[in-house]
Structure 1
Amino acid sequence: MSETRLRMNLPGMREEECFWWNTESLELEEPAGVSQSDWILEHMRQILIDMGYYLTQLHGECTSQTCPVMRAQETTYYCAGSHGHPRPCSAISYSVHTLDFAVCQLPKRHFQSMARRLYRVFAHAYYHHREFFERQEAVGLLYSRFVRLARKYELVAESLVIIPDLPTTVEA
């Protein structure tokens, strides 16, 4: 009898045991009877859950000292929603604010606004913490899952996609 593996982390699991399941292919076509909006919502919900873990890991090397402003390549991003007016913010603070924003916006289904901001977090990790980005992609394919969803449903304009295509981000 084969062991059934739950795709969830259980209370009390050690960090190295978290997210140990195999990443299955990302099914992008909504099943019959499920609206496109509901399908995107469920994918975004899982991405946000995984993003929380991602940021916890990123915090080990992306701090307010190492990355005092949020950048991807030479572009600086300002945090407006959390401070009332646009102002510079450390990359990790910007990332956490962005995750908080996305979680709050999820029921409103403002997917494009959420996805555009979340993409910036991945771009920062790619350009300023490449080893971390590659390590995380090798384990969970979070960016690949995110960008394939974003492309399929046009959640992020292609002109804003600045990370080069990876073998896992393009349809076969």
Structure 2
Amino acid sequence: MYLSGLIASETSHPISVKRAKEIAETPPGVDPWIWVYELVRKLTIDLNVLVVGMLEDSCSPKKCPEMRANEWQYLCACHNPPQECAAIDYIIHTLDNATTLLCSNKYFPSKWDTIMSIPISSTRHFSSIMRRLYRIFSHAWYKHYDVFWKVENEISLYRRFMAVSEHYHFKYEHSAMVDEAYSKEAKCNDHDINKGHNIDNDNQHFLDNYNNYETPTRFYNHDNKDNHDNKDNHDNKENMDNINTLLS
């Protein structure tokens, strides 16, 4: 597969922010939505490496009884109604659901295991999947910090994830949790690499370059209602002691 080949060809990790953004960009002649699909699918697959690392770091119902990132707790939407899950259960449920959705012929019709086209009505699922995957990174950052960086130094997983998020304007609640750390790390790395040279603008926030991208990002208004509902849910629970629950 072309995308897997691009990533496998990288011999040094973590890759530069510039290179991560180049991989995120839609190749010439490729339907942008199909490229988004391939990027999201690859990230979902590669996140299993991070999960294995967290399991080896004893991420278990005993050590991590709740799905938390700093003070934030997330309810698992795989249940009806959504309910608390141990972090590792939440993560596995999230990856299972993302995999099932991406493999659904109903939403992403394929022929001979190749996605031919993506209905516009199905594109809203990308934002939802990426939002939930982001929470896995957040948990890893706050609860399994060493594992987070071990995986990052092996396959540049979070850097690739953020490059896709920036390029296609996926938004996350409380994104400053890991975004801030990512930005600082990116600037630090680029400073070391470019010592004695002018540093380029690759680390500027994606909004600075919003109008420069010819991507399918304008369609992500589907997610506005979800974001509004999340805010309402948070406001209704503001009196809970150190627990802010986000419902999708």
Among 38, 43, 58, the residue aligned to 1:42? 38
- Between the aligned partners of 1:76 and 1:132, the Cα distance in structure 2 is 20
Question: What's the counterpart of residue 67 of structure 2?
Answer: 70
- Between the aligned partners of 2:80 and 2:172, the Cα distance in structure 1 is 26
Question: What's the counterpart of residue 12 of structure 1?
Answer: none
TM-score, reference length from structure 1? 0.80
Among 77, 80, 95, the residue aligned to 1:80? 77
- Between the aligned partners of 2:155 and 2:49, the Cα distance in structure 1 is 11
- Between the aligned partners of 2:126 and 2:147, the Cα distance in structure 1 is 26
Question: Structure 1 stretches of 5 or more lacking a match?
Answer: 1-5, 8-18
Deviation at 1:138, TM superposition (A): 1.1
Whether 1:99 and 2:99 are equivalent positions in the alignment is no
The runs of 4+ residues in structure 1 deviating greater than 4 Å are none
Question: What's the counterpart of residue 15 of structure 1?
Answer: none
- Between the aligned partners of 2:46 and 2:72, the Cα distance in structure 1 is 25
Among 134, 144, 157, the residue aligned to 1:119? 134
> Which is further off, 52-61 or 137-146?
52-61
Deviation at 1:21, TM superposition (A): 6.4
Aligned-partner residue type, residue 171 of structure 1 = D
The answer on whether the counterparts of 2:67 and 2:139 sit within 8 Å (CA) in structure 1 is: yes
Deviations 1:103-138 (A, max 9, x none): 122234411000000000000000111111111111
Question: Structure 2 stretches of 5 or more lacking a match?
Answer: 103-107, 109-121, 191-200, 204-248
The answer on whether the counterparts of 2:68 and 2:139 sit within 8 Å (CA) in structure 1 is: yes
Deviations 1:49-107 (A, max 9, x none): 111222122112211110000000100000022x2211110111101111111112223
SS of 1:162 mapped into structure 2: helix
- Between the aligned partners of 2:9 and 2:31, the Cα distance in structure 1 is 30
Higher relative contact order (CA 8 A, sep 6+): 2
SS of 1:33 mapped into structure 2: coil
SS of 2:177 mapped into structure 1: coil
> Which is further off, 66-75 or 55-64?
55-64
Aligned residues: 155
Pair member with larger Rg: 2
Question: What's the counterpart of residue 148 of structure 1?
Answer: 163
Deviation at 1:160, TM superposition (A): 2.8
- Between the aligned partners of 2:65 and 2:75, the Cα distance in structure 1 is 12
Identity score, percent: 34
Deviation at 1:159, TM superposition (A): 5.0
SS of 1:55 mapped into structure 2: helix
